[in-house]
Structure 1
Amino acid sequence: MAASIFQDVEMAPPIEVFQLTNRYNDDTFPQKVNLGVGAYRTDDGKPLVLPVVKKAEVAMASDSQNHEYLPVAGLPAFRDAAKKLILGEDSPALVENRTESIQCLGGTGCIRLCAEFLKKILKCDTVYVSKPTWGNHRNIFKHANFSNIKEYRYWNPESRGLNLEGMLEDLNNAPSRSVVILHAVAHNPTGVDPSVEEWEKIADVCKAKELIVVMDNAYQGFASGDLDKDAYAVRYFVRRGFELFIAQSFSKNFGLYNERTGNLCIVSKTPEVLNRVKSQCEILVRTMWSNPPNHGGRVVATVLNNQASYAEWKVQVKEMADRIQQMRKLMFEKLRAKGTPGSWNHIIQQIGMFCYTGLNVHQVKHLREKYHIYMLMEGRINMCAITSKNVDYVVDAINDAVVNI
């Protein structure tokens, strides 16, 4: 028999977060805890389908729409509503018709389309990502054939906060027209966001160095509970006159994880260039996924374009954000009451779904092996996975790890 054409294919390294979930699912220990997966959980540890999403889906199921292809750029009602959500209805970019958008396969699809456009159309070859950053940023730009994937300092392990000085220095040393990925709100994985004053300094450097800004916006509303507050950085850069890309994901704030619902919003200085930009994006989309799926986009459009549904959704988003903040406070108070060594203020100072605990690799392994608590090796945990039922167990385990490892 002839040798397989696949015989020299090497085994790829596992994707950590999914491997972690598989190990958790295979674990039969009754008190096991999965703090790794980046998805919202109720206080019962269950996935949540937002009630407003259920209502929209019931209405959609009874209408007479067919299953024809969407336009290559996606559902217009979704794209327009998504732009207004992130930019604000009174945005100068919207008023002056300086925006375009493309419906993508989740936030990941937005970043990938953006990377392809930057490489093939704008001929960019250098991108800066934060250190640390979302695990997929580097790989997306690698597979889009960027030659130079660099990091700017972000996390300060001593303060467990932002290393602003290092960030500004690294961006100031970046070549002109380098691409920089900025997390619009609720930085993943650290949960550390710049203040208003710090955003101003970051924008100053990006403007002076003529950096091409890509805002990764996965958590609008989900971070603070306030849609406008969570859009601050994006809207500030737009007011400053930046041309930029905004990758919007509706996985978290709509709970549409497996519907892969995203929108790549593009802001330009003038409206005249946008038709050309859109046309090139459509060619790139045609070669990757051809047309986006309909369901998730229609859910978002149905909710955002109906005043009553929109108001209901905002309440439900705030409830999710509030529960995350409550779990932060509860975990912090219990660690402090336990007398766990070190300062744990960062738990309540960080924002959004994730907490960068500061636990080291050996402590993370100890938690997994002794207590069946699963988290990424970098010490990132999903605060949604902390519940009133497991918080004492998790705190006791962390205390043991910090004291003894």
Structure 2
Amino acid sequence: MPTLSVFLDVPLAPKIGSKLLDEFKQDQNPNKVYLAYGVCMTGDGVPWLSPVVPKTLMKLANDPSFSYECQPEQGLDAFVRVTTELLVGRHSPAIVDNRVGGVQTIGGNGAIQLGAKFLKDWYPGSRSVYIQSAQKDQHGLIFQEQGFIIREYTIWDPYRLVSDVGKLIEVAEQAYDKSILVIYNPESFVLPRKKWMKLSKTIKKKQIFLFFDVPHQGFLSGDPDRDSKILHYFVSHGFEFFCSQSLSNSFGLYDERTSNLVVVAMNNKALLCIRSQLTIYARYLWGSPPALGSRVITTVLSNPALRVEWKKSLRGMVENIMLTREKVKEKLRLLGTPGSWEHITQQDGIHSFLGISVDQVNYLVKKKHVYIPKSGQINFTCINSHNIDYIAQSINEAILAIGPGPEPREPPPKPPPSRPDSKDSKLLGIKAPGAKPSPFAALFRK
């Protein structure tokens, strides 16, 4: 006898995933190109894997001590130790003082979720969290479900066609006291020493808590130690902070979702208390993190020869990215494409802005089947010898059809700074009393 389901009132949740990627997959055009993958790609159009990984997997497979026993809630202790050292430096004062540690998490999102949950329960400061616009949909949701107010900021200057890290100082100056500042991809931030000093003084004065997000250490300069200089700076100046450290991208172990929530505390006592709370959260969020990825990474970082080989593979990929940038810029020059394209080679890392308009982006997607986000930020590792000519010709055609090409210019005058008060909750995405919860809410509840 048929009965009614107790779940009749459950609505269909909004689709998770990239609409752009769905459109690309459905496109039947043979020349279609997707330039928005989140991972590093090879010249053959497949996700990059450090050559040291297969070698390490074979070594582990032949290790008689290898077992499939579950890891403890905080993860593999050796993994947490070597990856934390990779982030803050083996001889960091925080390590010497035993005030830095971590908890292994499931992906970078897991680290953000774990940190946000802890801050919700234990951080005594403001409920305002400042997040870069590009990360609002991904990390903003996590903080929002924990009751935080999301406030956006951006580093990319679409007028001058540069990443203006100096804007970070403005964000700190205008931020609420004791608020939380999430800094995504901090290894790309380059400031003169005087500005770093100004930024750190502002953060200390306003007691802003820093939450760094390092998604692919080593892919900026090819040297993971050099890429973490900004973190070394804040450690040496006595800051407390959290850092989501994703290792999956740096090794090519994308499906292993191997990450670490690094905690830099004021002293060892505070560190032990924080880690104890994080361990409890980890236990009921996922119980035990996956072991294989952490064992591979621990083996590589603990073996001097494998570590050197891994760093060499990073440098090789970064050199390929730099060469691709130069080739794209040169092809646009030879095509006589209007505009200035110097900003292509002045940016670093896997993802960079083309500096084109939304209309030009739409032209590329609809007319040329070159799929890039509305922001114009593309993954340069998706460009290879098979598609670079078509991509350059398509950009040239979009500029000629829509115009004008990107040119550095002075931004319009800024309005006087203002900070919204609590009455702006609707504008900022805060749920009003009695409002229905987000369809994702269950993912983040206790």
Backbone CA RMSD of aligned residues: 1.9
Unaligned runs of 5+ in 2: 403-446
Q: How far does residue 219 in structure 1 lie from its aligned partner after superposition?
A: 2.0
Equivalent residue number for residue 275 of structure 1:
272
Q: Is the 8 A contact 2:222 2:316 kept in 1?
A: yes
Unaligned runs of 5+ in 1: 188-192
Answer yes or no: is 1:207 the counterpart of 2:208.
no
Answer yes or no: is 1:364 the counterpart of 2:366.
no
Q: Is the 8 A contact 1:261 1:297 kept in 2?
A: yes
Q: How far does residue 240 in structure 1 lie from its aligned partner after superposition?
A: 1.2
Q: Is the 8 A contact 1:185 1:219 kept in 2?
A: no
Equivalent residue number for residue 327 of structure 2:
330
Equivalent residue number for residue 161 of structure 2:
160
Q: How far does residue 91 in structure 1 lie from its aligned partner after superposition?
A: 0.5
Are residues 294 and 164 of structure 1, via their aligned partners in 2, closer, same or farther at CA, if it must alter by over 3 Å?
closer
Q: How far does residue 363 in structure 1 lie from its aligned partner after superposition?
A: 1.8
Instruction: Give 2:274's aligned amino acid.
Output: V
Equivalent residue number for residue 126 of structure 1:
128
Cα distance in 2 for partners of 1:231, 1:195 equals 14
1:4-403 to 2 correspondences below 5 Å: 4-15=5-16, 17=18, 19-64=19-64, 65-124=66-125, 125-133=127-135, 135-146=137-148, 148-164=149-165, 166-185=167-186, 193-197=189-193, 198-403=195-400
Q: Deviations over 1:294-331 (max 9, x none)?
A: 01100100100001100110101111111111111111
Q: How far does residue 5 in structure 1 lie from its aligned partner after superposition?
A: 4.3
My pick for the range that moved more, 296-305 or 206-215, is 206-215
Give the TM-score normalised by the residue count of structure 2.
0.85
Cα distance in 2 for partners of 1:120, 1:231 equals 29
Q: How far does residue 165 in structure 1 lie from its aligned partner after superposition?
A: 5.2
Cα distance in 2 for partners of 1:358, 1:11 equals 37
Instruction: Give 2:36's aligned amino acid.
Output: G
For these two proteins, the number of residue pairs brought into alignment is 398
Equivalent residue number for residue 427 of structure 2:
none
Equivalent residue number for residue 190 of structure 1:
none
Q: How far does residue 9 in structure 1 lie from its aligned partner after superposition?
A: 3.8
* Other structure's SS at 2:113 match: helix
Instruction: Give 1:63's aligned amino acid.
Output: D
* Other structure's SS at 2:102 match: strand
Q: How far does residue 8 in structure 1 lie from its aligned partner after superposition?
A: 4.0
Give the TM-score normalised by the residue count of structure 1.
0.93
Cα distance in 2 for partners of 1:4, 1:355 equals 49
My pick for the range that moved more, 80-89 or 137-146, is 137-146
Instruction: Give 1:128's aligned amino acid.
Output: Y
Are residues 400 and 221 of structure 1, via their aligned partners in 2, closer, same or farther at CA, if it must alter by over 3 Å?
same
Cα distance in 1 for partners of 2:93, 2:395 equals 48
Q: How far does residue 284 in structure 1 lie from its aligned partner after superposition?
A: 0.8
Are residues 398 and 9 of structure 1, via their aligned partners in 2, closer, same or farther at CA, if it must alter by over 3 Å?
farther
Q: How far does residue 393 in structure 1 lie from its aligned partner after superposition?
A: 0.6
